[in-house]
Structure 1
Amino acid sequence: MSKEKLQSHAVQTTGHAWDGDLQEYNNPLPRWWVWAFYLTIVFALVYWVLYPAWPLGKGYTTGIAKVTYVNSKGETVTTHWNTRADLMAEMNAAAKAQKPYYDKIAALPLEQIAKDPELNSFVISAGKQLFGDNCAACHQAGGQGVVGLFPNLTDDDWLYGGTLEKIQETITYGRRGFMPAFGSVFTPEQIDQLANYVLSLSGEKVDAVKAQAGNALFHSMDAMCFYCHGDDAKGRQDVGAPNLTDKIWLWAKVPAADTPEKKVEAVKTVITQGLGKGVMPAWKDRLKPEQIKLLAVYVHELGGGK
């Protein structure tokens, strides 16, 4: 290779030299990198003009970009761009897209909503969001509830009824469950007998003698447990009294107990202390009627509806 060609392939220097042979190479940045850098500067300048960017005294530059949305009072609001206003605008757009479906839901009976394939798809998607925003905090995201606090909505055990109409009624007006405390009414022995009887109803291992005595007490005029739970102990949906003959436990933490003794103690706790925390708020003033109808169908479809 000629000397001229070798020099053309050699790395060029800036012409500066130190100590005779220490030179500074001339390695310019890649052209694409330089242009990308310039573009970031242009982007920043445009962003500063359009959107809130710089502190300014007690305020900040708001930019020239605007957002228009309808607030909760039905008023049209136009303001500078910000994340809250942008979210409200997106929610307005979503509500507008959903309106034809909600109009159809409002006009149809519950049974027809559940049978309509197109509406059923909407119920699943919109119902999941409504349930997550308003119900999941208590009943959990999948509706499985929490033993001792909130009912499971995926089984077929319903305190007040699992039909579409009853679920709609429950969501609309709420529920307030109550069971009196018997700790000061019965002796510890009697409470022990009642607990054994209640557990025997669902096939749990109990003391047969105590269970027999508990049976008599359960159906006596002294305890009157049968008045709410029924002579057959299968509960009364008109007062929200649970079925005691299945293995579904809402208030007594029997499933978490790993010995027969602990199961008895779990039931004794409920009998002794009673229940006053079975409260579900009414949603008629928080949700629109068509949203409640949609939620009723969604909850019914979770698997436990009747």
Structure 2
Amino acid sequence: MSEQKLQSQTVQTTGHAWDGDLQEYNNPLPVWWVYTFYATVIFALVYWTLYPSWPLGKGWIGGVSNITYVNSEGETKTHSWNTRALLLADLNKAAVTQKPYFDKVAAMPYEQIAQDPDMSGFIISAGKSLFAENCAACHQAGGQGVIGFFPNLTDDDWLYGGSYEKIHETLLGGRRGYMPAFSEVLNGEQIDQLANYVASLSSIGHDATKATAGDVLFHSETAACYYCHTSDATGRKDIGAPNLTDNIWLWADVPAADTAEGKVAAIRGVIAGGLNKGVMPAWSGRLSPEQIKVLTVYVHELGGGQ
């Protein structure tokens, strides 16, 4: 092999040597890596020029890029670019786009909204967004609720009524459910009798003798359960007293129990401890009348509206 070829294959060094023969190679970076590095430097300089970047005194370099938009009041707003301004622009763009639909919702009766295909599409879109932002934290994303805490909005069982008017009333003013703790006025045997009677109303396994005694107690002045739940135990929507005959459970987690004894125990726990947690806030003042109306139709159409 020629001397010239050997020299071309020899790895270059920096010229530094230690202990006589320990040398430092001079391997250049790959060309693609070098150009990529230069590109990132150029990108950074452009970004620092256009958008907010380095701290400067008590503020920062604002950049030359701006965001201009027209809000729902028709006013033109301009901000230096930042994520907050971008969010405001997006929100106002959505508000301006949706305003004609909200105005139409405000002017239409509920039944007409539900029958209008164009408005139905808007209700699904806007209602889903409003529900996710304001209602899903309690009632879950699909409206299925949580037994023991928040009602299921997808079935046909409504504590206060499932008509458009009643749902609107609930959203507007909120609700506060209450049931006294019967452990303060009844002994353990009586509570057990009531629990077995309530279980019998939904064809749940129970002690027939105790259920018979519970029937008498339910309709007596001692327990007086019929005041709220009515003599046939179908409940009263005017005060939110649930129907005890439909095998639909909100407060007592009966479905989670594997045995009849466990189901009766769940009912017994609610009777003994009472309820003071059925609280829903009033949305009047938090949402606009149009938004409440959209939510009313959306909740009604979840599947259980009457």
TM category, shorter: 0.7 to 0.9
SS of 2:64's equivalent in the other structure is coil
Find the counterpart in structure 1 of residue 195 from structure 2. 195
Structure 1 residues 216 and 177: CA distance shift in structure 2, 3 A: same
C-alpha deviation, 1:70, in angstroms: 7.4
Q: In the alignment, is the contact (CA less than 8 A) between 1:69 and 1:85 conserved in 2?
A: no
Name which of structure 1's ranges 50-59 and 146-155 shifts more when overlaid on structure 2. Answer: 50-59
Find the counterpart in structure 1 of residue 146 from structure 2. 146
SS of 1:176's equivalent in the other structure is strand
SS of 2:301's equivalent in the other structure is helix
Structure 1 residues 28 and 231: CA distance shift in structure 2, 3 A: closer
Find the counterpart in structure 2 of residue 83 from structure 1. 83
C-alpha deviation, 1:53, in angstroms: 1.1
Q: In the alignment, is the contact (CA less than 8 A) between 1:12 and 1:25 conserved in 2?
A: no
C-alpha deviation, 1:57, in angstroms: 3.9
Q: In the alignment, is the contact (CA less than 8 A) between 1:11 and 1:25 conserved in 2?
A: no
The amino acid of 2:180's aligned partner reads P
Structure 1 residues 56 and 215: CA distance shift in structure 2, 3 A: same
Find the counterpart in structure 2 of residue 65 from structure 1. 65
C-alpha deviation, 1:127, in angstroms: 0.9
Find the counterpart in structure 2 of residue 213 from structure 1. 213
C-alpha deviation, 1:26, in angstroms: 9.5
C-alpha deviation, 1:287, in angstroms: 0.6
Per-residue deviation, residues 237-260 of structure 1 (Å, max 9, x unmatched): 111110000111000111111122
Q: In the alignment, is the contact (CA less than 8 A) between 1:228 and 1:241 conserved in 2?
A: yes
Structure 1 residues 110 and 11: CA distance shift in structure 2, 3 A: farther
Let me know the Cα RMSD of the aligned residues: 2.8
Structure 1 residues 174 and 16: CA distance shift in structure 2, 3 A: closer
Indicate yes or no: 2:280 matched with 1:280: yes
Q: How does 1:248-267 map to 2 (within 5 A)?
A: 248-267=248-267
Name which of structure 1's ranges 138-147 and 295-304 shifts more when overlaid on structure 2. Answer: 295-304
Q: What TM-score, normalized by structure 2, do the two folds share?
A: 0.87
Find the counterpart in structure 2 of residue 231 from structure 1. 231
Per-residue deviation, residues 125-182 of structure 1 (Å, max 9, x unmatched): 1111110000000000010000000000011100001111111111111111111111
Q: Write the distance in 2 (CA, Å) between the matches of 1:211 and 1:300.
A: 36
C-alpha deviation, 1:212, in angstroms: 0.3
Q: Write the distance in 1 (CA, Å) between the matches of 2:12 and 2:207.
A: 99
The amino acid of 2:251's aligned partner reads W
Per-residue deviation, residues 208-233 of structure 1 (Å, max 9, x unmatched): 00000000010112221111111111
SS of 2:183's equivalent in the other structure is coil
Structure 1 residues 26 and 272: CA distance shift in structure 2, 3 A: closer
Q: What TM-score, normalized by structure 1, do the two folds share?
A: 0.87
Find the counterpart in structure 2 of residue 292 from structure 1. 292
SS of 1:178's equivalent in the other structure is strand
Identical aligned pairs, as a percentage?
Answer: 64
Q: Write the distance in 1 (CA, Å) between the matches of 2:14 and 2:238.
A: 97
Structure 1 residues 181 and 101: CA distance shift in structure 2, 3 A: same
Q: How does 1:22-37 map to 2 (within 5 A)?
A: 29-30=30-31, 37=37
Per-residue deviation, residues 101-130 of structure 1 (Å, max 9, x unmatched): 111111100111111101111111111111
Q: Write the distance in 1 (CA, Å) between the matches of 2:30 and 2:118.
A: 58
Aligned residues: 298
Find the counterpart in structure 2 of residue 241 from structure 1. 241
The amino acid of 1:115's aligned partner reads Q
Unaligned runs of 5+ in 2: none
Per-residue deviation, residues 188-221 of structure 1 (Å, max 9, x unmatched): 1111100000010000000000000000010112
Q: In the alignment, is the contact (CA less than 8 A) between 1:193 and 1:213 conserved in 2?
A: yes
C-alpha deviation, 1:36, in angstroms: 5.0
Find the counterpart in structure 2 of residue 167 from structure 1. 167
Q: Write the distance in 1 (CA, Å) between the matches of 2:58 and 2:158.
A: 57
Find the counterpart in structure 2 of residue 102 from structure 1. 102
Q: Write the distance in 2 (CA, Å) between the matches of 1:77 and 1:227.
A: 59
Q: Write the distance in 2 (CA, Å) between the matches of 1:284 and 1:106.
A: 15
Structure 1 residues 278 and 26: CA distance shift in structure 2, 3 A: closer
Q: Write the distance in 1 (CA, Å) between the matches of 2:134 and 2:29.
A: 60
Q: In the alignment, is the contact (CA less than 8 A) between 1:179 and 1:274 conserved in 2?
A: yes
Q: How does 1:31-50 map to 2 (within 5 A)?
A: 37-50=37-50
C-alpha deviation, 1:269, in angstroms: 1.3
Q: Write the distance in 2 (CA, Å) between the matches of 1:145 and 1:16.
A: 72
